[in-house]
Structure 1
Amino acid sequence: MTITDVPGPAGLPLLGSMFELKRDSLGTFLNAHREHGDIVRITAGPPGLRTELYAVFSADGAQQILATESANFRKDNAFYQEVRESFGNGLLTSQDDDYLRQRRLVQPLFTRRRVDGYAEAVTAETAAMLSTWAEAPHATVDVVNETTRLTLRAVARILFGTDVEAAVDVVERCFPVIGSYALSRGFSPANLPRSWPTPANRRAAAATQELYAVCDRIIEQRRAEGESAKGEDLLTLLSQADSAEDRSLDASEIRDQVLVFLLAGHETTATSLAFALHLLARHPEQQTRAREEAVRVLADRSPEAADLDALPYLTQVLKEAMRLYPAGPVIGRRAVAAAEVGGHTIPAGADVIVAPWVTHRHPAYWDDPERFDPERFTPEREKERPRYAWFPFGGGPRACIGQHFSMLESVLALGMVLREYELTAVDVEVPVDTGITLRAAGPTRCVVRRVDDPA
């Protein structure tokens, strides 16, 4: 195959596509794919601070970057460095020997058997959420707000056990400040040092200090308990993780893992669950079918992990929601050496992205891609598509370690909601933008009515 220059939008003479990316990065990537194909070069920024971004939109290209040639595409870009400095060097951001050691120590905490044991925390927090809906003003809830609170409380309960309340309050207050700060710096062409006493630096430093303090206090308590600790929360298990090869995690490493689990473990699942509810609220036929399955399988008992395999349609609904609204809509890497991708050369040192947001809408893999259709995810139809036509959890050796937990939490919570409530969308169209994860840029309100309410 002939290697050719990578095509892309011309943009403005001095600034390239900078304004388009700042205004609507996801729309810019979609337009670039429609106009220029599966491999696109996008330039942004003024001369001297200009960034060249190579976007790869095909399933085969995503597989090459994330899996088959993953060693050549590393988490060395500016965005990951800012996340690393803000949230620590945990599994999300660590690399090389650090990553391999952390993964070996943490992997036993995410086996299917262990994760299935977290179902009780999920169902307890979902039941607590639903108990408040009966008193919702005008019988209306914002499903993003509700699922964000639900998933944060669930992951905090799994991480911290009885210390959940203090952790939740601090995370709710501090995470948005730190996340916005890291995002702004990660995509800025130049940044002032973090040590300078600017208002933004001081706000972020105060939020980070408060967040670190609560984590360190709980970690110190767990480590002091040592062998006497009987809890099954993840923090206790992390404190006890050890091997002859890898040695135990020290206090700062435990904190880094905790912060990553809090970040990745609640925002991503909240996005998937919220948009699944919102899509069902807009599609009554699919909502009815999902409810019938939930009622038939769950009856009036508390769901268990074993129910997951008996809820195939709810699983299809979640997968379709994650296709249309992937929590990680764009995944960045940096090329170590030059590589041929899709007949084009990506140079050494280039910033590279793969984009589930675009690939999940690729007409080669998805008919009428903007249409909500859970039937796309029957086992038969899944087998027909390339492996990386759908990759909301990333892929390759850096695939999300918590993907089984995310699906378990989302499906069980979705079943519990639908068993009790019928939802009707108030906000039919919900704009989105990209933070560290995908987020709604407007309200996602639904009217909720108990299914046993004769009115």
Structure 2
Amino acid sequence: MALGTNTGGGGVGAGTEVPALSGAPLLGSLHDLKSDSLGTYLRAQQRHGDVVRVSAGPPGMRADLYCVFSPEGVQQVLASEAANFRKDNAFYQEVRESFGNGLLTSQDEDYLRQRRLVQPLFTRRRVDGYAGAVAAETASVVTAWEEALDGVVDVSDEMTHLALRAVARILFGTDVEATAEVVARCFPVITEYVLRRGYSPANIPRSWPTPGNRRAAAAMDELYGVCDRIIGQRRRAGADASGEDLLTLLAAARSPDDGGFDAAELRDQVLIFLLAGHETTATSLCFALHLLARHPEQQDRAREEITRVLGGRPAQARDLERLPYLSQVVKEAMRLYPAAPVIGRKAVAATRIGGHAVPAGADVILAPWVTHRRPEHWPDPDRFDPERFTPEAEAGRPRYAWFPFGGGPRACIGQHFSMLESVVALAMILRAYSFEAVDTEIPVGAGITLRTEGPARCRIRRLDGPVGPR
């Protein structure tokens, strides 16, 4: 998570002092956050409880991060007091400057206007119409695996490829080939740049011609260029456009009160959808497959359900409710490996969380990675157990014990799409292949989204039956 400026000043109000995680005398927990932020936050909770202050950076530039780990505290930040916690920290500013002011990063009236224009395009009925694009891209991947060297695939790389092509097809329709290759090449350069600046206590201006700035600028220019070209084509087509891809629908979105998106705003939405729409789902698919590869009994149970429900036909949107165990597998994968493992906000006014005083201007950290492992809500928390997500089990937990899609007024607009894509893709993949883990443990780290820091290889074996749509 990004570091900001010192949060001194402002009224604090009544409340006990927030316990602090001990760190190095000079840099506090800066090294720990850079090398293993997820482990640092988990250690902070285990040692000090629901609200913990983590300090990082040299004197004069030190940041105090107020970490909130309880479901009740998370609900306060994301929902009941959401207006007091804004996306004003340094990390979101870096994302905003690189990927635009779309739904993920915009605030206030900008966000409300964008949400009103975009919401009709993410109704359940509209999203269900994207299942065919997901199925088509999944079928291509599954067919390609027949040529896998030694029957081994890296599910991290493969699911990133699948999710990117699926979201590019949904966004751009027939222009998928032109965009997917550019995104795959440019996104890693830009995201590393955002992370490096987000973790730094101080940054040089982006305009300075350093090698890092120039590499990032070149990647952004190429990415923006391909988006602008396709957007220009759609806008010139105007009323004659007949496509049903999401970009065409975004270009046509308008209302008497909100108008429509101009070309720059369209690009911002597209870039955010590309970022949030492929990296998050790729993470869920990767870890769902890898967890099943390590747990053959659960893999067999999921496949039995898939075979019973689908028979030989392609997976469809209506199958989401007919595959409850597979949906539980996805949710449990999201619990153990949330695509957004850390969420940041900045407090506008002083408040209390869990009885602790949080000052105005404080950088507030929520960590699904930690909250999803609270043993009072998740017994034996590191164990993979899809039964945790039966309707009865879900009803017995606090609402924010599990929040992979955020929550409150800024909950992810694409959460139904993410679940639909994950279930459709997994159903087709598991019907075609069995999986056995080659790499039994996968090191992970917190980037803009959760990312693997090593291979996630599985040995696959082709099963009898259809691969995908005919």
TM above 0.5, yes or no, is: yes
How far apart in 1 are the matches of 2:193 and 2:134? 30
Q: Does 1:310 align with 2:306?
A: no
Matches within 5 A, 1:197-208: 197-208=209-220
Aligned to 2:75: 63
Aligned to 1:237: 249
Aligned to 1:16: 28
How far apart in 2 are the matches of 1:342 and 1:96? 27
Matches within 5 A, 1:336-351: 336-351=348-363
How far apart in 2 are the matches of 1:19 and 1:249? 42
Tell me the CA shift for residue 260 of structure 1: 0.3
Tell me the CA shift for residue 198 of structure 1: 0.2
Q: Does 1:143 align with 2:155?
A: yes
Aligned to 2:454: 442
AA partner of residue 310 (structure 2): L
Aligned to 1:134: 146
**TM-superposition CA deviations, 1:384-410 (whole Å, max 9, x none):** 000000000000111100000000000
Q: Which residue of 255, 278, 295 corresponds with 1:266? A: 278
Tell me the CA shift for residue 452 of structure 1: 2.7
Q: Does 1:331 align with 2:363?
A: no
How far apart in 2 are the matches of 1:108 and 1:179? 29
How far apart in 1 are the matches of 2:191 and 2:43? 27
Q: Does 1:285 align with 2:297?
A: yes
Cα RMSD of the aligned pairs, angstroms, is 1.0
Aligned to 1:195: 207
How far apart in 2 are the matches of 1:451 and 1:120? 23
Name the TM-score, length of structure 1 as normaliser.
0.99
SS in 2 for 1:99: helix
Q: Which residue of 165, 173, 176 corresponds with 1:164? A: 176
**TM-superposition CA deviations, 1:303-330 (whole Å, max 9, x none):** 1101110000000000000000000000
Aligned to 2:261: 249
Q: Does 1:177 align with 2:200?
A: no
Aligned to 1:395: 407
Aligned to 1:186: 198
Aligned to 2:49: 37
| 5+ long unaligned stretches in structure 1 | none
Name the TM-score, length of structure 2 as normaliser.
0.96
Q: Does 1:48 align with 2:60?
A: yes
How far apart in 2 are the matches of 1:13 and 1:274? 39
SS in 2 for 1:55: strand
Q: Which residue of 68, 91, 111 corresponds with 1:79? A: 91
Q: Does 1:210 align with 2:222?
A: yes
> Residue 235 of structure 2 contacts residue 251 of structure 2 at CA under 8 Å; is this kept in 1?
yes
Matches within 5 A, 1:361-380: 361-380=373-392
> Residue 14 of structure 2 contacts residue 357 of structure 2 at CA under 8 Å; is this kept in 1?
no
SS in 2 for 1:42: strand
Q: Does 1:321 align with 2:333?
A: yes
AA partner of residue 407 (structure 1): M
SS in 2 for 1:133: helix
Tell me the CA shift for residue 451 of structure 1: 2.1
**TM-superposition CA deviations, 1:253-284 (whole Å, max 9, x none):** 00000000000000000000110000000000
SS in 1 for 2:254: coil
Q: Does 1:5 align with 2:13?
A: no
> Residue 284 of structure 2 contacts residue 334 of structure 2 at CA under 8 Å; is this kept in 1?
yes
Identical pairs, percent: 72
SS in 2 for 1:24: helix
How far apart in 2 are the matches of 1:377 and 1:25? 27
**TM-superposition CA deviations, 1:79-126 (whole Å, max 9, x none):** 000000000000000000000000000001100000000000000000
Q: Which residue of 425, 445, 448 corresponds with 1:433? A: 445
Tell me the CA shift for residue 302 of structure 1: 1.1
How far apart in 1 are the matches of 2:24 and 2:224? 43
Tell me the CA shift for residue 131 of structure 1: 0.3
Tell me the CA shift for residue 2 of structure 1: 7.2
Name segments (4+ residues, structure 1) moved above 4 Å: none
AA partner of residue 265 (structure 1): G
SS in 2 for 1:192: coil
Aligned to 2:136: 124
SS in 2 for 1:43: strand
Q: Which residue of 409, 414, 422 corresponds with 1:410? A: 422
How far apart in 2 are the matches of 1:102 and 1:23? 36
